């Protein structure tokens, strides 16, 4: 089984020593995306609604670089700095799922990189 780095210029570049995604066999492991604008690397303006959309758009671009879309995602983890935002995030997230929603965990964390309010990582099946 080979391991291949996946990268997209349509998603923010990694801000540390990690890949946007790595494909190992039939599985794609996507690093957590925060609400950075790909063009500037700056945080998207707005609150949890805008941040969640940007995160999921970024994740969609990473998936596309591997030749799949959100329908291939089998597992996600959502990290929130405030679980009070759960309903808003959940509503936006549902719009990206279509078909069979992936397995998921949602956790509250003390802080996220660059002061983000939300981060999402994913595992997709590419077989």
Please provide the average confidence, as pLDDT, over all residues in the chain: 96
Give CA separation, 12 vs 48, 58, 88, 117, in Å: 18, 7, 23, 16
Please state the pTM of the whole predicted model: 0.96
CATH assignment at residue 95: 3.30.1330.40
Domain span including residue 53: 3-125
Q: What is the reported pLDDT for 99?
A: 81
Residue 126's pLDDT band, with cuts at 50, 70 and 90, is very high
pLDDT tens-digit readout, 53-91: 999 999 999 999 999 999 999 999 999 999 999 999 999
Total domains in the chain come to 1
Q: What is the DSSP string of the chain?
A: --EEEE--TTSPPPSSSS-SEEEETTEEEEEEE-SB-TTT-PBPSSSHHHHHHHHHHHHHHHHHHTT--GGGEEEEEEEES-GGGHHHHHHHHHHHH-SSPPEEEEEE-S--GGG-SEEEEEEEE--
What are φ and ψ of residue 31, in 5° steps? -65, 160
Residue 31's pLDDT band, with cuts at 50, 70 and 90, is very high
């Amino acid at each position: 089984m080979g391991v291949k780095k996946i990268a997209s210029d349509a998603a923010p570049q990694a801000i540390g020593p990690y890949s946007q995604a790595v494909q190992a066999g039939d599985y794609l492991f996507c690093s957590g995306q925060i609400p950075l604008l790909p063009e500037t690397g700056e945080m998207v303006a707005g609150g949890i609604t805008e941040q969640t959309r940007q995160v999921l758009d970024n994740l969609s671009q990473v998936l596309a670089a591997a030749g799949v879309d959100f329908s291939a995602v089998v597992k996600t983890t959502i990290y929130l700095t405030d679980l009070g935002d759960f309903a808003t995030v959940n509503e936006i997230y549902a719009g990206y799922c279509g078909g069979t929603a992936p397995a998921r965990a949602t956790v509250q964390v003390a802080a996220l990189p660059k002061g983000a309010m939300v981060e999402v990582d994913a595992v997709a099946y590419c077989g």
